[in-house]
Structure 1
Amino acid sequence: MTTQDMLDDRYGRTRSPRRRWAIGAGIAVAAVVVGFLAWTTAQNAANAVDVDTTGFEVVDDHSVNLRFQFTAPVGRPVACAIEAQDEEHGVVGWRVVELPASDEHTRAVSETIPTTAPATTGFVNSCWVT
């Protein structure tokens, strides 16, 4: 063994088969992780529900009529949590509305929320695919 070979071996300037295998395994693990993250992002986007409150009407001291529209995947049932609040932002009524699957991508809905006290607003808290 020459002096140059001993120096290269001492300071790690040569690549051993074990080191090449470790680098290859690291690249493979990174590729699997990136693939998994891409797949879960695509799945979450495919099941996303976008909702907008289009209006509300306080009918009386015990009910609010809420109008909203949502965009959801075609052929999938959707559930929405709707809510009524008083002037101090306290929840005075809420319910979960289950909407059947439809061939339409965007739908408009009108629902009544029973309240325990006079409400000043109504809105959709959230929607999700069931």
Structure 2
Amino acid sequence: MESPEAVNASLDARYGRTPNRRVRDRRILWIVAGAFALVLGSWVIWAGLDGTKPLIEARDTAHSIIDEHSVSVTFEVSMPTGTAASCAVEALNENFTIVGWKVVDLPPSDRYTRSVTEIVRTTELSNTGLIYRCWLT
């Protein structure tokens, strides 16, 4: 009859519970954790700390319904000085359907933020007028 230690050692070897296996498992765990930390750190630096900001920002400030076929839209545009841009202005009816659309070209300026008012012609009575989006040209 075998001793209990010999039986335990035999079972441990059979089911992979040897001291060498534990050391190998620990090494694998540290390598995986290190790779994860490296990938996470790289992503944080690339996505979060690169310091880039949008080059152009636009926001609605006012709108006024002039008549059944036109609306006045006032908006602010912030963009780098000396650059030109274009903005799409839209008019919507009460069902949020686009009833008027106009692309406005903004020439270069020495001011970072400027206010622009445009009149958009509509196909029917609009409920609101707003800026759709702006882009550098």
Q: Which residue of 1 aligns with 2:104?
A: 97
Q: Deviations over 1:58-113 (max 9, x none)?
A: 1x333222222222333333322211123333221112222123221210111121
Between structure 1 and structure 2, the one with the greater Rg is: 2
Q: Which residue of 2 aligns with 1:9?
A: 20
Q: Which residue of 2 aligns with 1:53?
A: 61
Instruction: Tell me how large the CA RMSD over aligned residues is.
Output: 3.1
Rounded to whole Å, the distance in 1 between the matches of 2:31 and 2:128 is 63
**AA in 1 matched with 2:39:** V
1:120 matched to 2:130? The reply is: no
Alignment check: 8 A CA contact 1:46 1:73 kept = no
**AA in 2 matched with 1:30:** L
Q: Which residue of 1 aligns with 2:48?
A: 38
Equivalent residues, number: 122
Stretches of structure 2 lacking an aligned partner (at least 5 in a row): 1-8, 10-16
- Alignment partner of 2:71: what SS? strand
Q: Deviations over 1:20-42 (max 9, x none)?
A: 666555443333222211256x3
Stretches of structure 1 lacking an aligned partner (at least 5 in a row): none
1:68 matched to 2:75? The reply is: yes
**AA in 1 matched with 2:48:** A
Rounded to whole Å, the distance in 2 between the matches of 1:79 and 1:46 is 15
- TM-score, normalising length: structure 1: 0.68
Give the counterpart of 2:39 among 24, 29, 35.
29
- Alignment partner of 1:12: what SS? helix
